[in-house]
Structure 1
Amino acid sequence: MVRVSADERRRLLVQAAIRVMARDGVAQATTRSIVAEADMALGAFHYCFRSKEELLEQVITTITSHTLAPALEIIEGSGTLEEKLRGGLASYWQHVLDNPDEHRVTYELTQYATRNPALAEFARKQYRTYLDAHTQVIETLAASTGVTWAVEEAVLARYLTAIVDGLTLLYLNEGDAETAGAAIDLAATQLLGLVVQGS
């Protein structure tokens, strides 16, 4: 029998949780349904996670990494500021188009958490993850292109989070990919207008 490390079990459980939530909804994602999806015993969950909240936090971190890592790869690569910014946002948007159910999970998790006293801090932590991701994007753009922003990075990160979050939610409910994509491109143009100087 192949021995699986605790880290690998956690990864498999998180992936199973995302699949269950995307397919059946967050409310149906019980610990039993998640371990069944991962083909593990119930004890594996309690061995890997201290609580369901800890699992949900890992779900958000994992989904965020699915969009952040490819965007950072583009931003850290070669090209002008405009090419990197538009490329990074386009990479994110393509993930939304390819994986809409995964993004629906994130919004459902927010609502689920705000209605569950045991998860009172989850929504706050969830959006802190998004802010941290967008701060990393902004800082990486600055470092890789010599950009100086016209506004504080903390403010810019909130602006970018609000735009991306809002356009994603609008698309998931409206389904107009073409217009939403044009709005993402407009966001890139606006961000480029907030550059004081660049190399």
Structure 2
Amino acid sequence: MNPSTTLALGAASTRAPAVPTETASGDDTTDCAQVKRIALTFDDGPAATYTAELLKDLAPYKARVTFFTVGQNVAAHPELVRAEAKAGHEVGNHSWSHPDLTRLTTAQVQQQLERTSAAIKAATSKAPTTLSPVLWDVDTEDWKYRDAAKVARTVIDKASRNDVVLMHDIHATSVAAVPEILKTLTARGYPFVTVSHLRATL
């Protein structure tokens, strides 16, 4: 039930970031049957100040993404989770402290998930609705390669229609890769949608 000592989950005490105030104008209306699209996902946050920077980068493109949040970071930075939801992004459950769930009892797994869902609901007034496991098509391995250019190139070169891309908003280099990803794939005709939106139209 304790977080790994080797995984930086981004909830360290730092000066509070300026929280973005972008507001989405309703549900995503992208017609996924007619266009190619990409679902960017960000695990393990929110993290000050990286998540705030990411939200600002996404806004000009009207890109919607899915954040799979860690409960202890939700509790540490509820204002960032509120900003994610307010901007029209999807907030999902990535356990409370990121343990290896295969080593926990059923009761412990349930506690990890329920505690995180409660924290998300407390921050956003809405419990997460993405309940089934979500896997990815493109793993950037951004935790291994702390190189923004390499991360961006991996997504740009490998991502294709209807792909789910795995990234982490707890790494500065991953967040720094996002503007180039948005610019390049937008020019290629890709809108950025949430995992739930993608699944609903497959």
Alignment TM class, shorter chain as reference: under 0.3
Identify the structure with the greater helix proportion: 1
1 or 2 for the larger relative contact order (CA 8 Å, sep ≥6)?
2
| Normalised TM-score (structure 2) | 0.25
Where is the strand percentage greater, Structure 1 or Structure 2? 2
TM-score by length of 1: 0.25
